[in-house]
């Protein structure tokens, strides 16, 4: 017999996968009352996603779990393209830069990743996680959402929340209840995915065999794990491909007759789809519920983590009273185009990885050979500059503004900076979880203390002065943190700029302005965020620097 209990929370998250768990950790850090539920008894135990990028690791840093996550990561791996198994390597992608503080491509295993995120939830008293709980139905009005949840024993829970976030996967029941369609296409091709452990192959780059007869992808993982992905032919059935004899024959060109420890085998049909809408009232879609990405670029899970960070800081701002609820409308407008750009990247890489004909495969390998002879083109691919970077031109950013080559709406780099005590830290360790005002250049031009518009204090923006490498001593300014860019990582990007940058909590540049345009920029931000302030400006004396 069922009993009905009730619970109130600020945010209800449906789905405890990478997207939902990341969002829950972000909200927990801000002391937002959050309930996350999942119908599974726990986090996943089988391998799924296998690649985590620098942007996602920066988000892990934001929730204080980067060190824990990195313990189960193979950092900085690339991709080598081969004509066939045993054939020649005709192209390489080996990114070495750390623009955002971490290597661009990294191998991981989703069960270990989710377990780390789940353990992270235990840090926050405001956060409750309930597994073996299923959402049955929900309603909403202008005041909130009401959801009916059932646990494994059939007991019912009536949940009242300010917002509901659907992180419930590609078959999202929430999306279906909202009547939202997915637009895009499914692939006619099917891929057999085989995950192994106890692997003794020391090669730590991904191998892609662009063989039209049978394209294969081989991905190394942490703790002696490895993944093989085989394109199935039209006449091959799922049942046939999953038999031990068939698996042994497919793996023989790579592992010989040595025994292989298989931990998972499954057949996937890949999708390239985006939900028609990501928000209906107080209900939002995130992760696979909002978009489905082919795996060729390794961006499906990473796009979900971007969703979580983008939506998370905005929910925090709204629930803390820093922004109006209208600011949440920017979530879809900011994330949709970039998610679709990564889907298109995956589709284009799929053409390279799985050529439709032998002739097309030969043409692709020949094209890569020519590219290798032209250094700018070679480096474009080698350093993975073809990956679309998000640039917000709408949403919670001012449409114009530039500091050197950095434009408003871009993610700010994360260099290693040195503090007054000589300790080196990545930038975000100083920024914390909120907004930041940054000025770069000569301390004699420091004017952060002259920014008196009320919005800066309303947003609780930290004030950071970053000095170029040639300064010998770091001065101190009241109310301002001074750091030094000893490697001059920002100099080529920002120059010796006298402009100010407002960084959002997700590290995107919301505004670039100078003293003459401060009030104009601040008023525009106030309008974007839906903020009403009674006292915008106050004249205060400028503080002189104190040199050690």
Tens-digit pLDDT profile for the chain (548 aa)?
Answer: 467 899 999 999 999 999 999 999 999 999 999 999 999 999 998 888 888 999 999 999 999 999 999 999 989 888 888 888 888 888 887 878 899 999 988 989 999 999 999 999 999 999 999 999 999 999 999 999 999 999 999 999 999 999 999 999 999 999 999 999 998 876 667 889 999 999 989 888 889 888 888 888 898 989 999 999 898 888 899 999 999 999 999 999 999 888 899 999 999 888 888 999 999 999 999 999 999 987 766 678 999 999 999 999 999 999 999 999 999 999 999 999 888 888 877 776 666 666 566 666 666 566 565 555 555 554 544 444 556 677 898 999 998 888 888 899 999 999 999 998 889 999 999 999 999 999 998 888 889 999 999 999 999 999 999 999 888 778 888 889 999 998 899 988 887 667 999 999 999 999 999 999 999 999 999 999 999 887 554 333 333 443 34
Q: Which residues contact 272 (CB under 8 A, 6 or more apart)?
A: 184, 185, 186, 187, 292, 293, 294, 343, 346, 347
What backbone torsions phi and psi does residue 199 show, to the nearest 5 degrees? Answer: -85, 140
Query: What would the two tokens of residue 450 be?
Result: 């002259």
Query: What's the pLDDT score for residue 160?
Result: 98
What are the extents of the domains in the chain?
A: 4-72+108-182+272-353, 402-529
Phi, psi of 264 (to 5 degrees): -160, 145
pLDDT at 547: 33
In the chain, what's the furthest Cα-to-Cα distance? Answer: 80
- Residue 544's pLDDT is 41
Distance CA 240, CA 293 (A): 26
Q: Where are the beta strands (DSSP E) in 432-535?
A: 436-440, 462-467, 481-484, 500-503, 509-513
Torsional sign, CA 318, 323, 326, 327: negative
Residue-by-residue DSSP string for 34-93: EEEEESSSSS--S----EEEHHHHHHHHHTT-HHHHHTTEEES--EEEESSTTS-EEEEE
Q: Which two tokens stand for residue 181?
A: 């369609």
Equal CATH topology for 4-72+108-182+272-353 and 402-529: no
- Token pair listed for 511: 């505004």
Token digits of residue 155: 């007991």
Helix (H) or strand (E) holding 114: helix 110-121
CA distance 166 to 318: 18
Question: Cβ(415)–Cβ(487) under 8 Å?
Answer: yes
Which residues lie below 8 Å from residue 129, measured CB to CB, with a gap of 6+?
A: 16, 24, 35, 36, 37, 118, 121
Q: Residue 192 class from Cβ within 10 Å (0-12 exposed, 13-18 middle, 19+ buried)?
A: buried
Instruction: Please tell me whether residue 363 adopts helix, strand or coil conformation.
Output: helix
Strands 406-407 and 402-403: antiparallel
CATH 3.50.50.60 fits 4-72+108-182+272-353, yes or no: yes
pLDDT recorded at residue 28: 98
Domain 402-529 CATH class label: alpha beta
Residues forming a β-bridge with 546: 476
From residue 491, give the alpha-carbon distance in Å to each of 449, 494, 495, 532: 23, 5, 5, 36
CA angle in degrees (0–180, nearest 5) for 459-463-469? 150
- Does the pTM surpass 0.85? The reply is yes
């Amino acid at each position: 017999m069922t009993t009905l209990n009730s619970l109130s929370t600020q945010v209800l998250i449906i789905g405890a996968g990478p997207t939902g768990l990341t969002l829950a950790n972000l909200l927990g850090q801000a002391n937002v009352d959050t309930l996350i539920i999942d119908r599974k008894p726990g986090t996943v135990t089988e391998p799924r996603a296998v690649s985590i990028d620098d942007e996602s690791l920066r988000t892990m840093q934001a929730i204080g779990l980067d060190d824990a996550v990195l313990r189960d990561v193979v950092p900085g791996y690339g991709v080598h393209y081969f004509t066939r198994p045993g054939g020649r390597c005709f192209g390489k992608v080996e990114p070495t830069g750390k623009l955002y503080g971490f290597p661009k491509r990294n191998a991981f295993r989703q069960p270990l990743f989710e377990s780390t995120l789940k353990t992270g939830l235990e840090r926050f008293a405001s956060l409750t996680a309930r597994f073996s709980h299923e959402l049955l139905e929900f309603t909403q009005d202008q005041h909130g959402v009401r959801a009916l949840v059932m646990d494994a024993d059939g007991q019912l829970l009536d949940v009242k929340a300010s917002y509901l976030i659907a992180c419930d996967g590609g078959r999202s029941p929430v999306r279906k209840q909202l009547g939202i369609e997915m637009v895009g296409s499914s692939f006619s091709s099917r891929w057999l995915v085989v995950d192994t452990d106890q692997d003794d192959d020391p090669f730590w780059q991904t191998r892609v065999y662009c063989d039209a007869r049978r394209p294969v992808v081989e991905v190394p993982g942490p703790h002696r794990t490895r993944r093989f992905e085989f394109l199935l032919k039209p006449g091959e059935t799922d049942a046939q491909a999953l038999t031990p004899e068939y698996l042994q024959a497919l793996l023989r060109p790579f592992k010989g007759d040595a025994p292989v420890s298989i931990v998972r085998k499954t057949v996937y049909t890949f999708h390239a789809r985006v939900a028609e809408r990501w928000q209906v009232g107080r209900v939002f879609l995130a992760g696979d519920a909002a978009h489905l990405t082919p795996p060729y670029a390794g961006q499906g899970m990473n796009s979900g983590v971007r969703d979580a960070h983008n939506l998370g800081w905005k929910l925090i701002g709204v629930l803390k009273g820093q922004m109006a609820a209208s600011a949440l409308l920017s979530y879809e407008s900011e994330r949709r185009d970039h998610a679709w750009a990564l889907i298109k990247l995956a589709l284009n890489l799929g053409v390279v990885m799985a050529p439709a004909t032998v002739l097309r495969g030969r043409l692709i390998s020949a094209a890569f050979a020519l590219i290798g002879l032209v250094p700018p083109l070679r480096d474009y691919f080698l350093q993975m500059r073809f990956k679309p970077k998000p640039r917000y031109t709408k949403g919670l950013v001012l449409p114009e503004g530039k500091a050197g080559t950095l434009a408003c709406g871009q993610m700010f780099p994360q260099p290693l900076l040195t503090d007054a005590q000589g300790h080196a830290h990545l930038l975000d360790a100083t920024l914390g979880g909120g907004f930041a005002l940054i000025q770069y250049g000569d301390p004699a031009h420091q004017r952060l203390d002259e920014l008196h518009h009320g919005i800066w204090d309303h947003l609780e923006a930290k004030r950071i002065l970053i000095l170029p490498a040639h300064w010998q001593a770091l001065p101190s300014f009241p109310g301002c943190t001074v750091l030094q860019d000893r490697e001059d990582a920002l100099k080529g990007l920002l120059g010796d700029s006298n402009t100010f940058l407002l960084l959002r909590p997700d590290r995107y540049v919301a505004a670039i302005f100078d003293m003459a345009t401060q009030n104009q920029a601040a008023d525009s931000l106030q309008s974007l965020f839906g903020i009403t302030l009674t006292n915008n400006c106050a004249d205060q004396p400028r503080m002189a620097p104190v040199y050690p």
